[in-house]
Amino acid sequence: MPSTLEGQITMEKTPSYFVTNSAPKRIHSMARDIKLIIVVLAFKNRTLGLIDASWSALRIGIYALHLETWLQYFPLAQMHFVSGERLITDPAGELGRVQDFLGLKRIVTDKHFYFNKTKGFPCLKKPEDSSTPRCLGKSKGRTHPSIDPDVICRLHKFYKPFNMMFYQMTGQNFEWELEGQQ
């Protein structure tokens, strides 16, 4: 981790932390008072991106299982769960909740974003000190393969009890059971 001056917040982003069994213990031994921000997605949005990986991709999406491990080291109050779907449809709203969780003044608002039709994602507008806007990398916003609706239905049934458990554990309903999400 880089050094942090008083009044600064250091952030580190690694997508695999939440699903790596050894990560909670290691992170806890490094910084017990750390605040954790975890981005979660409906299985359809998550698994299709991993379709060419091994089917351990199914286990990655059992968020309740991973959360149980993290709760052995950190209280839920130190965790904030970001809806990956809302991060795309309402980035300012989701980031507003992140700013609140971190105890920051809400500075990032709708005026900082535009929707990039090519990528299919919101991007940050051009910062004053830059000549170009900031957008997700080439690996994001790509077209996913078409999946048989029967497979989608089976995945939905597989994840549903785990999603319900996750909602109960976090006190948040990500509404993945609504049509169009799963």
For the chain, counts of helices (H) and of strands (E): 7, 4
**Spatial distance between the Cα atoms of 69 and 62, rounded to a whole number of angstroms:** 12
Q: How far apart are the first and last CA of the chain?
A: 37
Residues linked to residue 134 through DSSP beta bridges, in sequence order = 124
Annotated ligand binding at 144? The verdict is yes
Annotated ligand binding at 140? The verdict is yes
Amino acid at 96: G
Annotated ligand binding at 66? The verdict is no
Token pair for residue 180?
């169009």
Annotated ligand binding at 156? The verdict is no
Annotated ligand binding at 105? The verdict is no
Query: Per the annotation, where are the binding residues?
Result: 140-144
Query: Per the annotation, where are the binding residues for 3'-phosphoadenylyl sulfate?
Result: 140-144
